[in-house]
Amino acid sequence: MTEHFADPATARQLIRGMIVMSLAVGPASAAQTALVTRFARALGVEEPASLQPTGGT
């Protein structure tokens, strides 16, 4: 996946977009948080904005 998002700014923008979409309809679930975290790690993004799971899947 990193070959498609080699630019760190583009990778960070993708992760921030995922965070926004996860929160668009309410608090993020544990599953959403885990998914965004996995993508961020795969892309080498350390994002200070984080999702806080509130339960559910």
Domain boundaries, the chain: 8-43
Asked whether 20 and 36 are in contact (CB, 8 A), the reply is: no
Q: What confidence tier does 52 reach under pLDDT thresholds 50, 70, 90?
A: low
| Three-class SS state of 9 | helix
Q: Which two tokens stand for residue 36?
A: 């965004």
Q: Structure tokens of 49?
A: 């904005």
**pLDDT per residue as tens digits for the range 26-46:** 988 889 889 999 999 999 998
* Portion of the chain with pLDDT greater than 70, in percent: 74
Instruction: Compute the distance between CA of residue 16 and CA of residue 14 in angstroms, rounded to an integer.
Output: 5
Cβ 17 vs Cβ 37: under 8 Å: no
